[in-house]
Chains A and B, each alone.
Chain A
Amino acid sequence: MIGQALVPLLLTLKVAGLATLLTLVLGVVLAYGLARYAFWGREFLDAVCTLPLVMPPTVLGYYLIVLIGRRGWIGEWLYDKLGISLIFTWQGAVLASAVVAFPLVFKSARAAFEGVDHQLEGAARTLGASEPGVFFRVTLPLAWRGILAGTMLAFARGMGEFGATLMVAGNIPGRTQTLSLAVYDAVEAGRDDLANFLVLVTSTVCVAILLGSGRLLRPRY
């Protein structure tokens, strides 16, 4: 039974981990841009970035199929030029998890950046720090706890992803079957012992992550 749980668990950790990494990089860059620069359509872009938080995962999965399916806008190009298809692969699952988890990183990073006092950045400039210096020595160190807390939430969300993953990557045991999909299969097949075990593993990991991110969000300065 542990072996049957281990395969989806490892796949889930891999998918959620890579998806989190992807959202972290993209989310921080976009959040910093939106927090620091005023431009036309800024709040519209914010709304689009937050949309996955409220939309049904199946709808997101459908959007992704429209985009990266073999006949999709990007998918067709990927398949014709590079011979890559993301549908029914674990890489597709990474993409689905990343989209669903993205708002969690983005929202908390934007709030964290906006919480950094402009005067501190100004002070660093008058002390001769270059613009990257200001970012890496002042802005990011003051914002990283908020960003990390959001990142941990994104990882937990990615671990529990079901709907969009099912649409994009399917439910192929050993290849794209993550924990949440394995739970569904186990219950369907009447294998309560396996289902219980999988549920226990998922719950433990998620509770640990939430406790950790709660600690990080406590004010420090």
Chain B
Amino acid sequence: MKIRVDICKRLISEGREFRLEAEFRAENERIVVFGPSGSGKSVTLQCIAGLLTPDAGRIEIGERVLFDSAAGINLSPQARNVGFVFQEYALFPHLSVEQNIGFALQHAFHGRLDPLARERVSAFLAAFELEGLARNLPRELSGGQRQRVALARALIRRPDLLLLDEPLAALDPMLREHVRRELLELQSRFQVPMIIITHDPADAEALAENLVVFDRGRVTQILDLKDDAALLSGVSQRERVGRALAELFPVA
């Protein structure tokens, strides 16, 4: 899927001004947005989801224009069909695992599920290994389980694009390697393009097909790691990302 982002936004928090001027295009299925904290990654993701409105610019996924300040287009987050997995997962604390996952399918008025939706929720509970926890509240789950609930909740709506804000940061380091593999597997099973934020080079190495590097509110580099020349020359993706990052951040 083709993704084009070209936005600017001025934010003021605690008296300090932050300017985001982000522009990138990507055509691959797994786009990793990489950069130090405070470089504007998260703001960009929230602009794509419609949770923040850019001051100006344009956001396009596939053939759909989500935002275009010149044409006066600004779809609501509800209409964008973009899934969002928050860093701390933002599970609804008052709803059970089952109700969290089924949230997008619930009837808006009486909050119940029709039989078809119920079946779909059960299938998702099974697929994400959460069957035994259907009636538990989020606070009773481990970090890894919470993340699986957040992923299932976002994917059940069949989003056109899945945004993940630092999906691995809140997890035990022991778990990260396992979750990276899980994300790859999910991506091929659901065929959903993902934009993944991280500041961990290991995540970028494992997951990126496109690597978008942010620094101080700007995109400083875009790498396509999927082109054939690299594969033919026998250089692995891991090495390529490693080299690219070493060039960008020589001290680290």
Contact = CB atoms under 8 A, between A and B. Distances in A.
A141 B137 CA distance: 14
B108 A123 contact: no
B49 A126 contact: yes
B153 interface: yes
B18 interface: no
Contacts of A142: 93-94
Contact of B93 (A129, A130, A137, A221): A221
**Range of interface residues on chain B?**
20 to 34
B157 A128 contact: yes
B78 interface: yes
B78 A128 contact: yes
The main secondary structure of chain A at its interface with chain B is helix
Contacts of B111: 137
B154 interface: yes
B104 interface: yes
Contacts of B84: 122-123, 126
A127 B101 CA distance: 10
Contacts of B94: 141-142, 221
B78 A125 contact: yes
Given A128-B157, A129-B108, A130-B108, A123 B90 contact: yes
Contacts of A120: 90, 92-93
Contact of A126 (B51, B92, B137): B51
B83 interface: yes
Nearest to B156: A127
B83 A126 contact: yes
Contact of B153 (A127, A141, A221): A127
Contacts of A127: 103-104, 153-154, 157
A126 B50 CA distance: 8
B139 A221 contact: yes
A130 B108 CA distance: 8
Interface string B93-122: 110000000011010100100000000000
6 contacts: A122-B46, A122-B49, A122-B84, A123-B84, A125-B76, A221-B139
Interface of B: 46, 49-51, 76-78, 80-84, 86, 88, 90, 92-94, 103-104, 106, 108, 111, 137, 139, 153-154, 157
